[in-house]
Chain A
Amino acid sequence: MKEENIVEVEDLFIRFYRDEGVIKPLNGVSLSIPSGKSVGVVGESGCGKTMTAYALLRILPRGGEIVRGALRFKRKNGETIDLAQLDEKGKTIRQIRGGEIAMIFQEPMTAFSPVHTLYNQISEVLRIHSDMDEEAIRKRVVDLLGHVGIPDPEQRADAYPFEFSGGMRQRAMIAMALASNPRLLIADEPTTALDVTVQAQVLRLIKKIQKEFNLSLMLITHDLGVIAHMVDYVYVMYMGEVVEAAPVGELFENPKHPYTIDLLHSIPKMTGPREELAHIEGTVPHSAALPPGCMFHPRCRKRVGKTCWTREPGMTDLGDGHYVRCFIHSPAESGISRESEDLTYA
């Protein structure tokens, strides 16, 4: 593991073995997050972003298995462990969840229990991960709520989630994530469900607390527009693979992968008529076999010929931290013929 990284995901495969077929959400994802830096993960809905985050916390939905790969994580005590090897119900991973890696979810509406107060739910983090007494917990929760911009936190702490607006709930969610001083914050589409005006505020808040608490940030979104001002480095995912990775400026100025180019084109422009967003059928599971060769080829407009659907492109290093998985940028011979690979075609 490199010294500067807090997380390294390597060659991660996730499978759901179901009666109706094998669902293949992740097919060899590799990415790393440097300590104190922010990294974006983008891609259309259904490409496996959330699955990657769940894998890190080992909270995959029922039936999901990590069938290959490593999830190296540097703990608060300096020790490096492979999260993939931990027992899902064990003590270590429970300490890490919420304690060292915290997560913010997309739907602030449903991500809180509707029948418990905010205080009840936020204080729970401290009860699990610290040995503070009741008074200290109360003080910390109220402080945190105030810090994330909830007015009148002393009273509002005892309110129920449904008594808050979406933006306020998301602020509370951030407060909950911060409660036990985690080192890594995963924000999964934190603003997707919010009004446009509120989105900017919440993003600013995330940015602010990241600086303040010296957090490493993994920001997941399907919206490249959100990424631009938020992160240092971007991973573009497609069908459970990273297809391009680059520093954020480079990616916007000099996108290499046809998919990234398409994504950039679909960013809604602030001026002029709003373009149709890509129509995405995200809820249909990948139960059918993955496309052979480059997984993007059925939609790709720049196919370089037969190679695209017979061989699988590898990651090409373009220098300056820019990587791409496409035959346009690497010789066909570099591709791997995965015919015999059990995982992809299993």
Chain B
Amino acid sequence: MNNDETTNLPIPPGAPADAGDAAGVDDSGAPPEESRVVFASQWKLMWWRFRKHKLALIGGVIMFIFYIVAAFCEFFAPYDPSTRDVTHILAPPQTIRFVDEDGRFHLRPFVYGYRMEIDSETWRRLYTPDTEDRRPIVFFPRGEPYKLWNLIPMERRLFGLEHGRAYLMGTDQLGRDVLSRTIYGSRISLTIGLIGVLLTFVIGILLGGIAGYFGGITDNVIQRIIEVLICIPHLPLWMALSAALPGHWSALRIYFGITVILSFLGWTGLARVVRGKFLALREEDFVVAARLCGTHETSIIFRHMVPSFLSHIIASATLAVPGMILGETALSFLGIGLRPPVVSWGVLLQQAQNFQVLAMAPWLMYPGLFVIIVVLAFNVLGDGLRDAADPYSD
């Protein structure tokens, strides 16, 4: 049956069966197709509602771009994140220009090289743009060879300079390119959010589902556990746990360790949502209504329950990702999350913790800008999804 896209209005039972002939007039053919009343499926309604949220759409697009960049960060970052350029310590960001000092326009964007002096009193390096030294930006240049995903050998990157190195977001205290490090950092920071939420998901749905499905003692025990966990302040718990990760672990294991720790507390919220949904769904009007109308069980489950359930879960999960990202950032910022040489946004921001350094090199806060953008994008996306998922909002 075509029970998802279009449906003819049902004919009330009990109406005269042969009413068409009863009028005794010619009933030439069936009425045209468009006279059917169109009913939208749950998913389609959700899509309509979601589409209304322009902000959420934008958030979705931004997230997509970020994850693409994170996936191919070796290609998008102009340099290796750990290469030091000792001639450019704490160099400020260069501006991308089209018009040079003499007012001439160049189709190919360029940056000016640095002129460096050492302040004789403070011994600080002072960088100024060297207007003599115009350095055009080239796309897909051949650079240091690298391996994409540690597998595929490549040597071209998205952009670079014909000669010398470009520092569009400046360099840090060791002369490393902040832009490249931020791009590499996105891989760690963004995936920690995803993997963390995935784990949270599994634990939350499992325990929440069990609690909601079995009820009784099982439900009670799980509820108590959740209660205990949410009463303990999160940050100290995270700190104690991450301090407990063995120091000799490899970067990768620490990374997974931190992810597990973040999920360890995160699942409680989701479990509550799942449990609540589970309990509520059984009572929900449309389910009861569908049942009363004799709609088949599987049809109830797939047309009404699954979409409503899934969409809520997706929305909750989307809204949970930023919490994970912020958690990692905070832990690493304090120096007890991920540690160098791993590059994550939190690790990068740790350099900005020292106010003396920050005062000299505010561009070290750039990774923070990316944190904000990503969290923002996730939040608006999740918000839109949640509104779309709720059949009772307009």
Contacts and interface: CB of A to CB of B under 8 A. Distances in A.
Interface string A273-286: 00110111101101
B20 to A, nearest CB: 5
A301 B19 contact: yes
A303 B52 CA distance: 40
A305 B25 contact: yes
Interface string B1-14: 00000011111111
Contacts of B394: 62-63
Interface stretch (B29-37, B59-67, B336-344): B29-37
B12 A288 contact: no
Nearest to A61: B394
Contact of B10 (A19, A278, A286): A278
B120 interface: no
Contacts of A108: none
A292 B12 contact: no
Contacts of A301: 11, 15-16, 18-20, 22
Nearest to B45: A20
Q: Interface residues of A: mostly helix, strand, loop or mixed?
A: loop
A298 B39 contact: no
A298 B40 contact: no
A304 B52 CA distance: 42
Interface string B285-308: 010000001100000000000000
A298 B293 contact: no
B13 A308 contact: no
A338 interface: no
A265 B14 contact: yes
A309 B286 CA distance: 32
Contact of B31 (A19, A63, A281, A309): A309
A291 B22 contact: no
B27 interface: yes
A325 to B, nearest CB: 16
Given A303-B20, A305-B27, A305-B28, A265 B35 contact: no
A110 to B, nearest CB: 12
B101 interface: no
A292 B37 CA distance: 11
Contacts of B231: none
A292 B33 CA distance: 11
Interface stretch (A5-13, A48-56, A128-136, A255-263): A255-263
Given A284-B39, A284-B40, A292 B34 contact: yes
A27 to B, nearest CB: 14
A297 B35 contact: yes
Nearest to B39: A284
A299 B19 contact: no
B32 to A, nearest CB: 6
Contact of A302 (B12, B20, B31, B49): B20
B38 A288 contact: yes
Contact of A20 (B12, B37, B48): B48
Interface of B: 7-16, 18-20, 22-23, 25-28, 31-32, 34-40, 48-49, 51-52, 286, 293-294, 394
What 6 pairs between A and B have smallest CB-CB spacing?
A301-B19, A265-B14, A278-B12, A288-B38, A20-B48, A304-B25
Interface of A: 19-20, 62-63, 258, 261-263, 265-266, 275-276, 278-281, 283-284, 286-289, 291-293, 297-306, 308-309, 328
15 contacts: A20-B48, A261-B15, A265-B15, A266-B12, A275-B14, A278-B10, A279-B294, A291-B37, A299-B11, A301-B16, A301-B18, A302-B23, A303-B20, A304-B23, A328-B23
